[in-house]
Amino acid sequence: MIKDITLGQYLPGNSIIHRLDPRTKLLMTVSFMMVLFILNSILSLIISMVIVLSCYHIAGISYKYAFKGIKPVLYVIVFTVILNVFFTSGAPLLVWKFITISKEGVNSAILVSLRVLTLITSASIMTYTTTPIMLTDAIEKLFKPLKKIKVPVHEMAMMMTIALRFIPTLIDETDKIMKAQAARGADIGTGNIIQRAKSFIPILVPLFISSFKRADDLAIAMESRCYRGGEGRTSMRVLKFTNKDLFAFIAFVLFTIILFVLQFFI
Amino acid sequence: MKSIDSLIKTNDVSYVYLNSINPIKAVNKISLSIKQGEYIAMLGRNGSGKSTFARLLNALLLPSEGEVIVLSKNAANEDDLWFIRKRVGMIFQNPDNQIIGTTVEEDIAFGPENLGVIQQEIKSRVTQALTDVGILDLRERAPHMLSGGQKQKVGIAAILAMHPMCIIMDESTSMLDPLGREELLKVVSILNKKEKITIINITHHMEEATFANRVIIIDNGKIVEDGTPAEVFTDVDKITKIGLDVPQVTLLLHKLKKAGYLKKVDAITVKQAYERIVQILE
């Protein structure tokens, strides 16, 4: 059961969004987030939300996954809404005893919550439609120019790949160690918070030691397969911009213009 | 090119581990010549130096004394390091700790990628390697969803994609169940016969030596026996003295010889032993 967890939150599919170049998706997501911070009208933000949700529709991903991403930050949103509604000064909309709700307060509460919701759903759609390994590739390619100023881009991407590769293996191992320690009478996960934290030491120590052993083995295996850093290395997966990406970029730019036009002229 | 038939040659090779308080001489003046297409089983107790010796053969370790020559190139020469590692591939004991890719396909592509092979060729090499090992159906699988035997086959395929001349298995069967071990050995045997790839199987399972056409026994960093399986296992007393077992059938024949039924022990497989025993009965 513990083996079945998926890496990241990738949901397999074959939609146009799935097939876009990961660099396109990454760039568009980042720029879309910036656009969201600049946008300042409720109408524009509502339209952005609609755009993001229609991306879910195109990708064939159920809206409940959009909600799944929001869930953990729901409290934060509620909290900011309360703060904004009650503590923003301006033209009073409702006065009851000492509580004053201003028009500006309501306005900014809606703005902030819409912005956060759209931010999260738009970032989620990228991780839902792109495998972690593709994202790593995209990051490596996009940051390649940084190599000139001696940033170890390839090494960082390789480390991410290895981390992704070993997450399931280490989860498996944790499971085994927990069972082994339980068989020796270790009491895991009971008692107060300090006792529970302490009970994880006999799990973490063997896990750490074996990870170092694995790292050592892996380094030797990589070396014996002629790994010598990124220099002169080719790749089986080659990222290629296609017409789909061009189309996506044009659509993105058009929508951005529309959003700004709406904000400034209406 | 006088040494065209000798793939790997070692001249008085020694290796000393310096990082402990008292240096350990793990390999002590081994001289050996390995020909293209041989299937060698290298046997020895734990700590006999066989794994260290194997690591000297593809320049993972460099000899403290003597020299290792692979296809007339010296392993100590840094410029030839990658040439040698490309020709002499190695798979290790723990199948989990040698898979680098997040899918089988990517792991097999890792070697050719390091060699700078162009993209289209990597794809065809991956397909070829997977077909040769018979795991084409596992192409898209994630490594943690594979069995131990399958993982070791991925390891073999990953080396094959680099077009090697020799595969060293460093106790690669020791963590496998009997079925997985049998399948792995079958794959390796086929590669040896069809593609003429030299196989060096380092193991302490005596039964695996019967697949080989040459058996080398290492003890205390030295070669103590070197010959065909039939030759080596004849001397049952010597092998038991080193602390190794002989295949069960050989032991049976050895006992029959002691009892005076046989003149010499020359069977290492069940079939051969059966024939000998039938002869006695007749």
Complex confidence, ipTM: 0.86
Q: What is the pLDDT of residue A8?
A: 55
pLDDT of residue B136 exceeding 50: yes
Residue B102: pLDDT band by 50, 70, 90 thresholds? confident
B84 vs A188 pLDDT, higher one? B84
Supply the mean pLDDT for chain A.
Answer: 87
* Residue A133 touches chain B, beta carbons under 8 Å: yes
Q: Given CA atoms A251, A253, A259, A262 in this order, what sign does their dihedral have?
A: negative
User: Is A161 close to B60, i.e. CB distance below 8 A?
Assistant: no
CB atoms < 10 A from the CB of A40, how many? 12
Name the pLDDT band for B137 (thresholds 50, 70, 90).
Answer: very high
Inside any domain, residue A144: no
The pLDDT of residue A3:
41
Indicate whether A169 and A220 sit together in one domain: yes
The answer as to whether A145 is a domain residue is no
Beta-sheet strands, E only, within chain A: 92-96, 99-102
Kindly report the nearest CA distance between residue A206 and chain B, in angstroms. Answer: 16
DSSP B74-105: ETT-GGGHHHHHHHEEEE-S-GGGG--SSSHH
Q: Give the gap in angstroms from C-alpha B124 to the nearest C-alpha of chain A.
A: 10
Check residue B1 and give its pLDDT.
40
Check whether residue A117 and residue A249 sit in a common domain: yes
Q: Tally the domains of chain A.
A: 2
A1 with A55, same domain?
Answer: yes
The H or E element that residue B70 is part of is: strand B65-70
Residues in chain A with CB shorter than 8 Å from the CB of B162 are 225-226
pLDDT of residue A2: 43
Report the alpha-carbon distance of residue B268 to residue B264 in Å, rounded. Answer: 12
* B141-171 confidence digits (pLDDT tens): 888 888 889 999 999 999 999 999 999 999 9
Q: Is B150 exposed, middle or buried (0-12, 13-18, 19+ CB in 10 A)?
A: buried
Interface test with A, best of B90, B92, B102, B130 (most A CBs within 10 A): B102
Q: How many CA atoms lie within 13 A of B191 on its CB side?
A: 30
Taking 90 as the threshold, does the pLDDT of residue A67 lie above it? no
Beta strand B214-219 with B222-227 is: antiparallel
Q: Is A161 on the interface with B (CB under 8 A)?
A: yes
A2 at the B interface (CB within 8 A)? no
Residue A28 and residue A72 in one domain:
yes
On whether residue A25 sits in a domain, the answer given is: yes
CA distances (Å), origin B196, targets B1, B38, B166? 20, 8, 9
Higher pLDDT, B3 or B282: B282
Average pLDDT, chain B: 87
Q: What is the mean pLDDT of residues B4-31?
A: 84
Q: Residue range B231-246: average pLDDT? A: 81
CB pair distance less than 8 Å for A233 and B116: yes
Cα→Cα distances A7→A133, B136, B144, Å? 10, 23, 12
CA distances from B213 to A210, B37, B41, B91, B198 (A): 37, 10, 8, 20, 11
The model's pLDDT over B260-278, given as tens digits with 9 standing for 90+, comes to: 887 777 777 788 888 888 8
Question: Which of B97, B128, B174, B200 would you mutate first to test chain A, the one with the most A CBs within 10 A?
Answer: B97
Q: Are B35 and B208 in contact (CB under 8 A)?
A: no
Residue A264 within a domain: yes
Q: Residue A167 is part of which domain span?
A: 153-235
Evaluate whether residue A98 is within a structural domain.
Answer: yes
Tokens of B232: 């080596």
Q: For the segment A9-60, what is each residue's pLDDT rounded down to a tens digit? A: 778 888 999 999 999 999 999 999 999 999 888 899 999 999 999 999 999 8
Same domain for A72 and A160, yes or no, is no
- A52 neighbors A121 (Cβ within 8 angstroms): yes
Q: Flag if B86 and A217 touch (Cβ within 8 Å).
A: no
User: Is residue A148 one of the residues assigned to a domain?
Assistant: no
Contact: A223, B102; criterion CB under 8 Å = no
| pLDDT exceeds 50 at position A152 | yes
- Indicate if A8 and A109 belong to the same structural domain: yes
Residue of A nearest to B120 (CA): A236
Q: Same domain, yes or no, for A99 and A160?
A: no
A11 to chain B, any CB pair closer than 8 A? The answer is no
Over the Cα atoms of chain A, what is R_g?
Answer: 24
CB B156 within 8 A of CB B183: no
Residue A113 shares a structural domain with residue A244 = yes
To the nearest whole Å, the CA of A7 is away from the closest chain B CA by 10
Residue pointed to by tokens 């990406």: A245
According to the model, what pLDDT value does residue B5 have? 66
Extract the tokens encoding A150.
Answer: 């001696």
Nearest CA in chain A to B100: A162
Res B263: pLDDT: 75
Nearest Cα neighbor of A65 from A117, A132, A106, A124 is A124
Whether A123 maps to a domain, the answer reads yes
Q: Give the domains, in start order, of chain B with CATH numbers.
A: 8-246 (3.40.50.300)
Do A210 and A88 belong together in one domain? no
Residue among B60, B85, B113 minimizing CB distance to A233? B113
Q: How far is A131 from chain B (nearest CA, A)?
A: 11
**Nearest residue, CB atoms, A169 vs list B105, B123, B144:** B144
Model confidence at A5, in pLDDT bands (50, 70, 90)? Answer: very low
Distance CA A209, CA A191 (A): 27
Same domain as A48, residue A157? no
* Residue B247, SS3 per DSSP: coil
User: A59 is written with which tokens?
Assistant: 């990708």
Amino acid at B81: L
Q: Is residue A195 part of a domain?
A: yes
Cβ of B119 within 8 Å of Cβ of A236? The answer is: yes
pLDDT of res. A47: 92
Q: A164 and A41 share a domain?
A: no
Tell me which DSSP letter residue A5 carries.
P
Query: Same structural domain for residues A72 and A159?
Result: no
For residue A50, the model assigns a pLDDT of 93
What pLDDT does A45 receive? Answer: 92
Using a cut of 0.95, tell me whether the model's pTM lies above it.
no
Residue B20 pLDDT = 67
Measure A69 CA to nearest chain B CA, in Å. Answer: 25
Q: Which long-range contacts (CB under 8 A, 24 or more apart) does B233-238 make?
A: B233/B209, B233/B265, B233/B268, B234/B264, B234/B265, B234/B266, B236/B265
pLDDT at A202: 87
